[in-house]
Structure 1
Amino acid sequence: MMEKKKLLGEERRTKLLHILQTSEQPVTGSELSQITNVSRQVIVGDITLLKARNEPIIATSQGYMYLQTGNTQKPERTIACQHDPSRAQEELFLLVDIGITVKDVKIEHPVYGDLTASIMVSSRKEVQQFLTKVTATNASFLSELTSGIHLHTLSASSEELLDEAENALKNAGILVD
């Protein structure tokens, strides 16, 4: 049986960049490590180097994504919400069911200042994967550090959908005015 070739340094980073740029779905560090025949930790270091070169790579709960740039920019809006952790699924399902992509969650920490984490969920399946990962890792929601207050960057195909999302969150008692 032939052993897979380990990709080295710049050749590996070029391969990683190509994979991320051509993938329509997030790619996990484990998948990238299998493709390049290196450890997941090496992949984390490579991604850090690529980000330092201003490559628009983000880490989401589903894996790494390359943010495509171009003239197809969708409308975005930042909203403020407040709820306890038991309503996270309700909030996210409400948004994705309208056709919203929840890009991130942000809080203002009293010591560290602004903290932002990428979520990038746009379907119930992605929400479920995100929440399963939170539970499986026994992680806390960022909003637990701020009495449930947090911001989300929302993206949609139209301003009308963003308006609809805000109204739905307001009706659910989640939106902070």
Structure 2
Amino acid sequence: MKQKKEKRRSAVERRKSIMERLRKAADPIKGNDLADEMQVSRQVIVQDISLLKAEGKQIIATSQGYLLLQKVQSNTIKKIVACNHTISETEDELTRIVTCGVTVLNVTVEHPLYGEITRSLMIRNRSDVHKFVENLEKTGASLLSSLTDGVHLHELEADASEKIENAVAALKQAGYLL
């Protein structure tokens, strides 16, 4: 007996479903996972995300997948740090930060032609660091900081200033701060 094919959702229904999944998710969701769930191609998901962003939805693409930015708690502290290190020191740098209970929100480089280039990272713990480094090795991609001989900025966030201070001290001890 043939299985009844599930009716494909309309584009509007699909985007509502994507938003609902992102609202409920504590961690980023990969585009391929959304595509499988919605029974569409990853390219359709990329287009849906672009349309949702154009509507003003606060969706960011991280190295781990898509994430909906929730309202930031007013008790979080943010700090931008300037760093410089080699690609082989990336894992150590990120681990030093997250071990202090600090989230690495993004990375920014100053490009001579394009100006500031910022990409979301949302690296919160050692597992996120491991996934990031694993993806870096698997893809063979270059870090943004390779455009600037290792110089880059990170925006850090924590729920206490002591955590930020500890992360900065750990980076300074390793010689990663500019």
| Range with bigger deviation, 27-36 or 2-11 | 2-11
Which residue pairs with 1:135 in the alignment?
A: 137
How many residues align? The count is 176
Q: State whether residues 7 and 38 of structure 1, in contact with CA within 8 Å, keep that contact through their aligned partners in structure 2.
A: no
SS across alignment from 1:38: coil
Q: State whether residues 4 and 37 of structure 1, in contact with CA within 8 Å, keep that contact through their aligned partners in structure 2.
A: no
CA offset digits 1:35-54 (Å, max 9, x no partner): 21111100000000111111
Give me the CA root mean square deviation.
1.2
SS across alignment from 1:64: strand
SS across alignment from 1:81: strand
SS across alignment from 2:8: coil
CA distance in structure 2 between the aligned counterparts of 1:106 and 1:84, rounded to whole angstroms: 16
Aligned counterpart for 1:95 among listed residues 94, 97, 101: 97
CA distance in structure 2 between the aligned counterparts of 1:159 and 1:143, rounded to whole angstroms: 26
Which residue pairs with 1:43 in the alignment?
A: 45
SS across alignment from 2:117: strand
Specify the code of the residue in structure 2 equivalent to 1:156. A
Specify the code of the residue in structure 2 equivalent to 1:123. N
Q: State whether residues 104 and 119 of structure 1, in contact with CA within 8 Å, keep that contact through their aligned partners in structure 2.
A: yes
Which residue pairs with 1:152 in the alignment?
A: 154
Task: Report how far residue 72 of structure 1 moved.
Answer: 4.6
Which residue pairs with 1:67 in the alignment?
A: 69
Which residue pairs with 1:24 in the alignment?
A: 26
Q: Which runs of 5+ in 2 are unaligned?
A: none
CA distance in structure 1 between the aligned counterparts of 2:25 and 2:155, rounded to whole angstroms: 23
Task: Report how far residue 78 of structure 1 moved.
Answer: 0.7
Task: Report how far residue 2 of structure 1 moved.
Answer: 2.8
Task: Report how far residue 5 of structure 1 moved.
Answer: 2.8
TM-score, normalised via structure 2 length: 0.95
CA distance in structure 1 between the aligned counterparts of 2:125 and 2:142, rounded to whole angstroms: 22
Q: State whether residues 104 and 116 of structure 1, in contact with CA within 8 Å, keep that contact through their aligned partners in structure 2.
A: yes
CA distance in structure 2 between the aligned counterparts of 1:65 and 1:78, rounded to whole angstroms: 21
Q: Which runs of 5+ in 1 are unaligned?
A: none
- Identity of matched residues, %: 42
Specify the code of the residue in structure 1 equivalent to 2:157. S
CA offset digits 1:67-104 (Å, max 9, x no partner): 11154552111110001111101100101111111111
| Range with bigger deviation, 138-147 or 2-11 | 2-11
Which residue pairs with 1:9 in the alignment?
A: 11
CA distance in structure 2 between the aligned counterparts of 1:34 and 1:74, rounded to whole angstroms: 35
| Range with bigger deviation, 71-80 or 148-157 | 71-80
